[in-house]
Amino acid sequence: MTGNIFGERFVLVSFGESHGRCVGAVIDGCPAGLMLSEKDIQRELDRRKPGQSGITTTRSEADEVEILSGLFEGYTTGAPICMVVWNKDVDSTKYETVKYEPRPGHADYTAFVRYGGFNDPRGGGRLSGRTTISYLMGGAVAKKLLRETLNVEILAHTTEIGGVKAEKRSLDEIRQADNNPVRCADPEAAKQMIARINEAQKQKDSVGGAVQCIALNVPAGLGDPVFNTLEGDISKALYSIPAVKSVEFGSGVDSARMTGSQHNDHFALREGKIITLSNYAGGILGGISNGMPITCRVTIKPTPSIRKKQQTVNLLSMKETIIEVEGRHDPCIVPRAVPVVEAMVAMVILDHAISAHLIPRVLEKKM
């Protein structure tokens, strides 16, 4: 399948460019009978849109979603749902040189090679973070479906920015993470993270960080080993978010330094239900969910767009040259990536839940 189509049973098709007419999505495979309106989508878009706080890009976009198909009398019909956000505040003057003088750390060079120089270079074009708007469109529907059918809850939050790590917090505190601009469940750490971002911005630099995602109430039994494991599908999904450099589940990289007796999660009974006493597995064993919370973590590299002088190669003259990147950029993209992480995890879990026949093709008969 081609590169802009995601999923097998609940499918997201993404289209649009940063400085084109719009960014949009088609969702195919959504069950009929889900009450849905623009509001359900807008809530998620608002969590990602620029200009939410002092630490994001100054590009001003309302990012208002319009649903073009797939609804009738307020419910999904089972037909494909097309949605768009029209681009408004497009300033492409800063991108004239980008095309032939690729910015270090960006996809400018690889897109040039892949698409033979025909790619839209304005604002990163198709490979801009702005295309994740379409991920949120799919994620908003997936989250609503999962919540209404299986009571699944997906929670992402910032755990690290620019070397500042958050303390481990309760689920209730994680649910409040959106209350600060960095989406960190630890308010003390949040303050330091903001300071760290502001400092980086002053130095014409940027910082990276990490996001954890927790999926609650996922039924045991999801996953199709040996190749379509739940980790594999979530991981692939998360790597479609620009700037992700690692994906871990449960104990993640720390498992390398543990022994089997430390790492094995013992089984126990709680109110007649099988649980594990620890969750180093991250809720997945053998590629299949075990009923415990699914926990994963992504690392997000520092924004490559920085205003410092950097070396590159001019692709026309084939000579080395020095550039200074202009344009409006976030000194740290981590907080705006948080809802996108939730969206991708939600779509994968939904896809597997459909495969397990846990999501009906019609939510409820309508007569």
Residues 271-310 that bind its own copies (CB under 8 A): 272, 274, 276-277, 280-282, 284-291, 299-306, 308, 310
Which of 17, 44, 153, 342 forms a contact with its own copies (CB under 8 A)? 17
Does residue 170 bind its own copies (CB under 8 A)?
A: no
Q: Binder to its own copies among 240, 279, 293, 328 (CB under 8 A)?
A: 240
Beta bridge partners, 273, equal 270
Residue 38's alpha-carbon distances to 22, 42, 343, in angstroms, are 16, 6, 16
Q: Which of 134, 103, 102, 129 is nearest to 117 (CA)?
A: 102
- The reply on whether position 163 binds its own copies by CB under 8 A is yes
- Contact between 268 and its own copies per CB under 8 A: yes
Closest approach of Cβ 169 to its own copies, in Å? 18
Q: Does residue 202 touch its own copies according to CB under 8 A?
A: no
3-state secondary structure of 23: strand
CB of 183 vs its own copies, minimal distance in Å: 15
DSSP H or E run through 302: none
Pairwise CA distance, residues 184 & 282, whole Å:
20
Measured from the CB atom, the residue of 145 and 244 that comes closer to its own copies is 244
Nearest approach in angstroms of CB 172 to its own copies is 25
Candidates 41-49, 55-63, 170-178, 264-272; binding stretch for its own copies (CB under 8 A): 264-272
Please give the structure tokens belonging to residue 106.
Answer: 């960006």
The verdict on 79 binding its own copies (CB under 8 A) reads yes
Q: Per CB under 8 A, does 88 bind its own copies?
A: no
Closest-CA residue to 233 (of 3, 7, 9): 7
Q: Smallest gap, in angstroms, from Cβ of residue 290 to its own copies?
A: 5
Q: Which of 93, 172, 202, 226 binds its own copies (CB under 8 A)?
A: 226
Q: Which is nearer to its own copies, 10 or 194 (CB)?
A: 10
> CA–CA distance from 93 to each of 19, 103, 117, 327 (Å)?
11, 16, 19, 9
Which residue from 101, 102, 35, 107 is spatially nearest to 74, judged by alpha carbons? 35
Binding positions for its own copies, 41-60, rule CB under 8 A = none
Spatial contact of 94 and 38, defined as CB atoms under 8 Å apart: no
State the nearest-atom distance from the C-beta of 187 to its own copies, in Å. 20
* Ramachandran bin of 305, using left for φ above 0, alpha for ψ from -120 to 50, beta for the remaining angles: beta
**CB of 59 vs its own copies, minimal distance in Å:** 18
- If one asks whether residue 24 binds its own copies (CB under 8 A), the answer comes out as yes
Footprint on residues 316-355 left by its own copies (CB under 8 A): 316, 318-320
* 3-state secondary structure at position 360: coil
